[in-house]
Structure 1
């Protein structure tokens, strides 16, 4: 764990040999197999979802292609066709290939794939589902060491619960980067915190780590203060009596005492904390928004048929359900970003909607600076106010002149939040707002949303975030809201 930019993903790159450390050694046991799930953009080719999930080695993939080619239309080279097929079949059986299919299907189902998806081309999937398929492949492979970089980012709540239960009985070692504290509390037995370029190790889950770290910081601060008092006392003696011949040797002795001390570093004053609150918005009417008889489809895929939804002033509503059920579609209709094919959307008196999503993050202008993008707001605010707000979100000093193209995912998410705050709504619609945020940023967002005096409708798979904020849960599945 550690703040965005602390070096968590870099540490993974060094372990994997993708990046060379400036100094030091990476020692790896012989014959140890590593499995790595990156945070984004794992590659796919022409394989099906099931083929991807069972492609645990190049040999497996080749054997499967030979067998499938023979079984489908005999597109194997004409010479020794049967011999090639038989050899491939025997080797596949010897390696447990047929049992592997059953295992892969079980894991794919747990991660939310339907049986009809197994034979679908992986390249047809969205980025989030591709990452799930790669995660399934790693679980099928069972490497000795799993390296998982934000593995829960693309999972819905049901898949997340299945995944964390599965990991509790995983036979190998697991090293995970995650900002999901409930997930960490469930699966881990130790924490390594990256802070100020140092690694600090703690035993226990995330909640236990917070207690231990607070105690360690308190002890370190007390020891530092004691040592500083000792240094000040010795230095004062040397300064007072250093010029006196009778005391000169004692003064020198005190200075040497200071030199010989093993200095305790000043505890890090963690100023990189986001601090913000939502400006108090205009009070809306009691009924904030109403959807009536909404119909929405994408081609032959009917998402909603006659759907109704109502939100009232000050409600906190979380939308949960499997990926693809229509949660984001519902939020876009509520925000007015998506016009429903039929049905009525009615905003209440004095209602102003604000919409936050990864789509909005992606709409940031890459060629602009942070400050220029933040300044592009309909709100009439001063340059100083914009600078202050950016500073609250850790864009300080020259950071405000950075191009958006060089920002991390977390920095872009924070900038999108800044833009939302510059034009405060009283109906706040948020689609997975914790994605790409670190723990401190999530805590700050939770604190601000608790104080928000308006209506909140959000989508999240972060159990901690949901528990902290939701007053009403709406389950979205198969076009139904319950």
Structure 2
């Protein structure tokens, strides 16, 4: 379908590609990975024809179509509704529709047989091209990308950049190009839309090339990984996790080969140096010199996952409650965001706020920070809380004329220049890079600078709104390490599942105008949510089956309906209630146990024998209660699972 053969490409004196080759087949779903600046987007632009190779060729069959979602589409503006913009994908069908409309209008005043025949032909072609279903197809795609029915007639330019990008993505999907190229698509999607795209791409008939920093998305969306490194394209026959494992094995082999070659070079150089002046060894010396000149050098393995160590210091410790909002309401005109909602954020919480766009995540951040007021409610807490807020607009606050190091110096911390250099090294700015001006940095590099400024601010409470947008995978890993070492409290809005799986110990989500909390990791929340949905689906199915059972069937199966099913339902509901009751109790006791463990480190307690004895007694009691509650929860869970399998037929 697509062949990249020995392509070389340069930006000035910089080599982007050197004899790079790749073959793309139908149904290939390829993830393009590599460092920022390695040339991932450049590769897509070469394929799209926006750039021309200096050497080599990129060939594809005649009539092969390419769809390219890139950041340039953000500048597209029009007064057309988003539904009409999406339907532009059906250009040939719309042209036939226009011809049909023109003929129908003409026939109102000039009814001719030839017009009737032409109309019949056009309508037949329109039907064959499934013209009558294009609107419903466009509506379905836009719905999958998160648009509501009442928004479909709104003009494109009335939406923010991220939502406009979704419309352009929808248009591309409706076009169904032979080669679909997506450059960082998840930057503009929320979790439900990302999951919808993953399902959509799983059955896509054409080839798909994706540049993305979202590891979870890559794992679910691709079946081949191509690494861009040192001007070459290296293919791995699996998803991103497979690539990491296979690359690790290759790296070990390369490292061994590199070290062996370096050892051989040193031995050869020693021989040359030792016998250079001896005439009897001249021939052998020259032979070894020629051998070194002809030797194809093996590159050392680059460490893509550096370990960092950041020293976080707080000028003051906050109170136990970071923020508390009670019975608060928030609405925009007729749109209710929160109604009688409650929020409590405690010192040491590591919270990820997740969910679909438009639910109120960013609004909640503004309410907590005080940048926006609730309509009704009560606020408390916040003693000695120093807040740092990171969002994409923070990039605009960077002084573009500053060098990177100077920008960090102005962050308000008391860190020395050496300490700031170390922090910039953690954020992948090494050597003379720290003297680059902000204005020449890429979006990802600016994000790293802004994040570094946020983290060194000595704030004891961080609010991070989509911090992984525009970061490459190594940079995301750095941020994960930094947050794992951070001793304060943070609240993060993110759709990056890999990221929040590694940094959050609580999950918040907004449902029915309420803020709801799951006291566990993201993976535990996913499993819990799946169980909840499965249980709800099962109970709804049982109720529906019960309603649909006719009176005659009930008489014929009196024993089944009056005893077996009802008795099973009774036991099933009891087991479900008991399981959920003890699950909540286990979570409460685990929190209490962690709280007591934390208090044991308090000098006021461990330095007072009476208080220490009382705390230890309470700790042992809670530990005992937790063991009992856990055992009960496990027993009722087994009972629930057994009843699921024993449903009467």
TM-score > 0.5 by shorter chain: yes
2:41 corresponds to which of 9, 14, 17: 9
2:252 corresponds to which of 198, 202, 218: 218
Match of 1:431 in 2: 465
1:386 corresponds to which of 390, 414, 420: 420
Say whether 1:47 aligns with 2:80: yes
CA distance in 1, matches of 2:377, 2:232: 56
Shift of the 87–359 alpha-carbon distance from structure 1 to 2, 3 Å rule, reads farther
Match of 2:299 in 1: 266
Say whether 1:116 aligns with 2:156: no
Match of 2:389 in 1: 355
CA distance in 2, matches of 1:330, 1:65: 47
C-alpha displacement of 1:270: 4.0
2:261–2:298 Cα contact (<8 Å) kept:
no
Match of 1:373 in 2: 407
Provide structure 2 residue ranges, at least 5 long, that are not aligned to the other structure: 1-32, 517-649
Q: How many pairs does the alignment contain?
A: 479
CA distance in 2, matches of 1:248, 1:236: 14
Shift of the 79–251 alpha-carbon distance from structure 1 to 2, 3 Å rule, reads farther
SS of residue matched to 1:252 = helix
Provide structure 1 residue ranges, at least 5 long, that are not aligned to the other structure: none
1:51–1:61 Cα contact (<8 Å) kept:
no
Bigger drift between 82-91 and 128-137 goes to 82-91
Say whether 1:248 aligns with 2:285: no
SS of residue matched to 1:297 = strand
Shift of the 53–415 alpha-carbon distance from structure 1 to 2, 3 Å rule, reads same
C-alpha displacement of 1:255: 3.2
Which residues of 2 match residues 9-408 of structure 1 at below 5 A? 9-39=41-71, 41-42=73-74, 43-63=76-96, 91-261=125-295, 263-270=296-303, 273=306, 275=308, 277=310, 279-281=312-314, 282-408=316-442
CA distance in 1, matches of 2:94, 2:512: 35
| Alpha-carbon displacement from aligned partner over 1:417-471 (angstroms, at most 9, x marks no partner) | 1211221222211111111111111111111111211222111111111211222
CA distance in 2, matches of 1:196, 1:76: 65
| Alpha-carbon displacement from aligned partner over 1:217-276 (angstroms, at most 9, x marks no partner) | 111121122222223333333333343333333333333443444x23231444895835
CA distance in 2, matches of 1:156, 1:481: 18
C-alpha displacement of 1:121: 1.7
| Alpha-carbon displacement from aligned partner over 1:343-398 (angstroms, at most 9, x marks no partner) | 33333332222211112223333444434433333333434433443343233455
TM-score normalized by the length of structure 1: 0.90
CA distance in 2, matches of 1:276, 1:235: 39
| Alpha-carbon displacement from aligned partner over 1:316-369 (angstroms, at most 9, x marks no partner) | 221122111100110121122223344333333322222111122233334444
Shift of the 429–93 alpha-carbon distance from structure 1 to 2, 3 Å rule, reads same
CA distance in 2, matches of 1:38, 1:132: 11
1:274–1:441 Cα contact (<8 Å) kept:
no
CA distance in 1, matches of 2:393, 2:285: 67
2:389–2:464 Cα contact (<8 Å) kept:
yes
1:321–1:477 Cα contact (<8 Å) kept:
no
2:213–2:472 Cα contact (<8 Å) kept:
yes
2:403–2:434 Cα contact (<8 Å) kept:
yes
1:192–1:200 Cα contact (<8 Å) kept:
yes
Structure 1 vs Structure 2 CA RMSD: 3.0
Match of 1:481 in 2: 515
Q: Which has the higher contact order (CA 8 A, sep 6+)?
A: 1
Bigger drift between 251-260 and 213-222 goes to 251-260
Name the one with the larger helix percent.
2
Question: Larger Cα Rg: Structure 1 or Structure 2?
Answer: 2
SS of residue matched to 1:55 = helix
Bigger drift between 121-130 and 297-306 goes to 297-306
Shift of the 272–319 alpha-carbon distance from structure 1 to 2, 3 Å rule, reads closer
SS of residue matched to 1:340 = coil
CA distance in 1, matches of 2:152, 2:103: 20
Bigger drift between 428-437 and 338-347 goes to 338-347
CA distance in 2, matches of 1:320, 1:76: 56
Bigger drift between 368-377 and 17-26 goes to 368-377
CA distance in 1, matches of 2:106, 2:367: 49
1:147–1:176 Cα contact (<8 Å) kept:
yes
Bigger drift between 135-144 and 389-398 goes to 389-398
CA distance in 2, matches of 1:160, 1:117: 20
C-alpha displacement of 1:295: 2.9
CA distance in 1, matches of 2:483, 2:355: 22
Shift of the 210–245 alpha-carbon distance from structure 1 to 2, 3 Å rule, reads same
CA distance in 2, matches of 1:90, 1:370: 64
CA distance in 1, matches of 2:149, 2:266: 72
CA distance in 2, matches of 1:40, 1:23: 26
2:340–2:514 Cα contact (<8 Å) kept:
no
C-alpha displacement of 1:144: 0.6
Bigger drift between 28-37 and 170-179 goes to 28-37
CA distance in 2, matches of 1:336, 1:345: 10
SS of residue matched to 2:455 = helix
